[in-house]
Amino acid sequence: MIRPDTTPQLFCSGVLLGRFVVPAFKVRVGDLLKLEFPDSAAGEGQTFVNMLSRPGDRGPVTASAHVEAVRFASESAVRRLLRRQRAADWLRSQTGMKPVEADSLVASLGIDPHARLASLAGTPRWLLGFQAALAAGADIIVFQTAGLDPLGVERALSAVDHQRNRIGAVYVSRSERLHVSEPAWTAVLKAALVEQDASRLHATAPDR
């Protein structure tokens, strides 16, 4: 008797986003998939991240997994007015961690737990957002690295790669060449302009 596959998965049957077509794919725990949009893409990448992080029961994006998008750690306008928030306090507010646990985790990222969130650069705020997504119990992480410098991109990709035994991930990127060290992708897909021939939509690794 063949047992059904109960591995948490994220499915995309193919999506038309503005001028671009995203090919079909599936991601499960242990998979790292890279989806490249052309440099001419504007907000389509962020739109697709939002779509993946809110899968439905039907439609082009569905999931049997808990999907979380990585969001940069940021303060609300009200909190900025009332009191500057520490890095560790932000993580606690997102995860419910105990103070000692949050301080230890933030310090392990190379971030001063007492640093004001507003004073942190993009990479530390991305790393905090990634930890919040993990703490939320995500099976699949969806993320971008827009706004990070090459070193920050490398740190983000390394952080995701180190967790691939417990999560799957979809990296929505631009096709620009940053010359950074990247993990071993399960597949690399390319979004194509609508007027391009459909045969140009391809993956560089076979479906597993």
**pLDDT (tens digit, 9 = 90+) per residue, 7-51?**
899 999 999 998 899 999 999 999 999 999 998 887 899 999 999
pLDDT digits (tens, 9 = 90+) for 85-102: 899 999 999 999 999 999
Q: Are 167 and 137 in contact (CB under 8 A)?
A: no
Question: Using CA atoms, how far apart are residues 149 and 126, in angstroms rounded to an integer?
Answer: 12
57, 58, 56, 66: which is closest to 27 by C-alpha?
Answer: 66
Look-up of token digits 């706004």: 147
Rounded Cα distance, 20 and 191, in Å = 6
Q: How far apart are CA 121 and CA 137, in angstroms?
A: 26
What does the pLDDT average to over 56-66? 93
pLDDT of residue 160: 98
What token pair was written down for 82? 């009332």
Residues 6+ apart with CB under 8 A from 9: 26, 27, 28, 63, 64, 65, 140, 168
Nearest to 187 by CA among 200, 175, 169, 162: 169
| Distance separating the N- and C-terminal Cα atoms of the chain | 21
Q: What is the mean pLDDT of residues 163-177?
A: 91
Model pTM score: 0.87
pLDDT above 90 for 83: no
Scanning 7-117, the segments in alpha helix (DSSP H) are 44-52, 77-82, 87-95, 99-108
187 touches 168 (CB < 8 A): no
Rounded to whole angstroms, the Cα distance separating 187 from 43 reads 23
**With bands split at pLDDT 50, 70 and 90, how would you rate the model's confidence at 75?**
confident
Q: Is the pLDDT of residue 202 over 70?
A: no
In the prediction, which pLDDT does 3 show? 61
Per-residue pLDDT reduced to its tens digit, 98-156 = 999 999 999 999 999 999 998 999 999 999 999 999 999 999 999 999 999 999 999 99
